[in-house]
A and B are shown apart, each in its own frame.
Chain A
Amino acid sequence: MSVISQLTKALPKNTVIIGDENTRPFECDGLSVYKQKPLAVVLPRDISQIKKVLEICRKNNTPVVTRGAGTGLSGGATPLEGCVVLGLSRLTRIISIDAENKTAIVEPGVRNLAISDAVEEFDLYYAPDPSSQIACSIGGNVAENSGGVHCLKYGLTVQNIEAIKIITIDGEELLLSRQDKGLGLLALMNGSEGLLGVITEITVKLTQKPQLAKLVMAGFSSVRDCANAVAEIIKAGIIPSGLEMMDKFAIEASEAFAHPGYPVDAEALLLCELDGAEDTVVHDLNKVVELLSKATSMRISENEDERLLFWKGRKSAFPAIGRLSPDYYCMDGTIPKRHLADVLEQISNLSEQYKLRVANVFHAGDGNLHPLILYDAGRPGELEKTEDFGMDILKLCIEVGGSITGEHGVGIEKLDAMCHQYNSAELDVFHQIKAAFDPHSLLNPGKAVPTLHRCAELGRMHVHHGNLPHPELERF
């Protein structure tokens, strides 16, 4: 009996989706340049159904690609040829809320923002806020260790998860909690991109809503002045809840799109949000204003509406820039903040060299850079040129001591870039970790970690902090 027949037989009606037309919505995730039709899509309603799917796939040696809301940007949920897509979008129950201990137990298909909506009556919210939070699912957030604009103060997903339940490919249930002793298995599952297990339940930590939040918006006549201001704020002992930078191109595009009142004559814009108890916010605000002495313009949000309006420009920067070009490619490198001005200068040089425009938005507080490369996929060779440009940016990030991805994940998109960040012994450790949980490599195989063969084929040498590994070895 075929895999499809076995699935159809074992599961209720309308759970297994097959056929070209019906599976088309699942042929890609947020990285829409790569598409692949799966063998079938299964949308289970409970854990016992997930177990059945895994059992059938295991017995038939069929790969499984777990999918949340499909908003990921690195192809983590791109189907593989002949795979079953395990979509968890129907598991949307909020199982319980414990307002006193500030936790909630939810199913993986619950949307990020739906958690905050559900706990609003207790003056609580779920802190990590990836910009797709209106649509992305909490299961996907854990799988990718998603970030957002408030990570500097409130952490990434991994710091905001109390416990998870996973099912391994062998059907074993594993409850991992922050209360466990021993190895950090819970942390390992965060950001494991669906390669180690299927997340079936999540206990999230909730955060008390701040008494007050104020947003300072400051324009600068140079990127360097703006970057220095960021360093000054942090050195002064202030941890803003959000600290964002945009370059001139991004400022202009966002202003034209969302009209937040950004200074379009500025070379760089800083958004600095302070939240917390009223007296602390007022105190920090005065200090920040003092430190922004080189700003050419400055505004402080007068009320909540204005604060949200100032944010709206930044949060809609991607679609705003997307309007200006048929396609754009979003990068996600991280760098130590002190290198920001130099890195942006080099990106600008590369932009001229490749003759492709680039806009920069930057989570300045945590060093996460999002250059958006504008291109036209309709022009032959332009996607490839764009990907080369992107790779040069990522190499630059590695050279200055950063990483190829801060919050979007590796997926299929950054497999080649991984060959630059890690040497073969390190990649081998990753492969063995996968094998420890998924010995037959059936869960999202081939994603997140490149094969050693692939890296060798690229003929690329791993460079870490500007040093070649094993300098004693002869190079071929």
Chain B
Amino acid sequence: MRSIAELQNQVRSGSQLRITNHEKDSDETFVNMSLYSGIVEYFPEELVVTLKAGTTINEVNQILGENNQALPFYIDNPDKTIGSLYATSGPEFSDSVLGVQIINGKGELLNFGGQVMKNVAGYDVSRLLVGSMGRLAIVTQISLKILPKKIAVKFQNQPSLKNTKPTLGLYFEQKLKKVFDPYGVFL
């Protein structure tokens, strides 16, 4: 099991890093997040769960299932980690995101959003980074809104394929990449 301090050190000393979940990606150019897993906090009456990024959907489903609750978004493969879904999903996923903890390209540990349903303090970084493909920061921890199982299933349909890119979208994405990763550590 890896620690935050280890991850921060890897970012500070690494020049080019790829975030991964594969055990075989073991040399120093990879940040293997599958080793950073587990449920950080879960109170069923809050409808919120906080997970380390390497936690697999199977693990989450099991513990939520014990309380008749579930993740309210599409999951193509429950062997995936929550961090991997976060990195590759769109608004249907970010609708359920409440907060993230990240390590930016400078190795700083930062928290955005929180463990509450409503939070409009500061820009919504925890939803901005959904779909960022691990190129802006290491996402270490994610807080999600969950729902009772019978309601959550209504939100689990496969979303339409995202294929548009706003004009200038790339331009602003590049600028935002520099905000989080000024030295270009994350490939």
Using a CB–CB cutoff of 8 Å, the interface residues on chain A facing chain B are: 144-145, 147, 151-152, 155-156, 158-159, 172-188, 190-192, 196, 230-232, 234-235, 237-239, 334-338, 363, 365-368, 401-410, 414, 417-418, 421-423, 425-427, 429-430, 432-433, 436-437, 448-449, 464
Contact = CB atoms under 8 A, between A and B. Distances in A.
Given A405-B120, A429-B110, A188 B128 contact: yes
Contacts of B130: 183-184, 187
A186 B95 CA distance: 12
Contacts of A448: 122
A401 B114 CA distance: 7
8 contacts: A178-B91, A178-B92, A179-B163, A184-B128, A192-B124, A367-B117, A429-B104, A436-B178
Chain B interface size, under 10 / 10 to 19 / 20 to 34 / 35 or more: 35 or more
Contacts, number: 211
Given A158-B124, A402-B116, A184 B148 contact: no
Nearest to A192: B123
A180 B165 contact: yes
B97 to A, nearest CB: 9
A424 B95 CA distance: 27
A335 B119 CA distance: 10
Contacts of B61: none
Given A183-B173, A426-B110, A436-B179, A175 B121 contact: no
A113 to B, nearest CB: 21
A184 B46 contact: no
Contact of B115 (A173, A177, A336, A406): A336
Contact of A334 (B116, B129, B164, B173): B116
A185 B123 CA distance: 11
A114 B117 CA distance: 27
Contact of B116 (A182, A335, A437): A335
A63 to B, nearest CB: 19
B131 A184 contact: yes
B94 A407 contact: no
A336 B145 CA distance: 12
B116 A406 contact: yes
B120 A187 contact: no
A438 B68 CA distance: 46
A191 to B, nearest CB: 5
Given A179-B160, A237-B68, A407 B123 contact: no
Nearest to B69: A237
A181 B124 contact: no
B118 A181 contact: no
Given A144-B120, A190-B124, A432-B179, A182 B165 contact: yes
B125 interface: yes
Given A178-B91, A401-B116, 17 more contacts: A151-B117, A156-B118, A178-B90, A183-B131, A184-B90, A184-B130, A185-B128, A185-B173, A237-B69, A238-B148, A363-B118, A401-B115, A403-B120, A407-B120, A410-B121, A429-B179, A436-B176
Contacts of B94: 184, 187
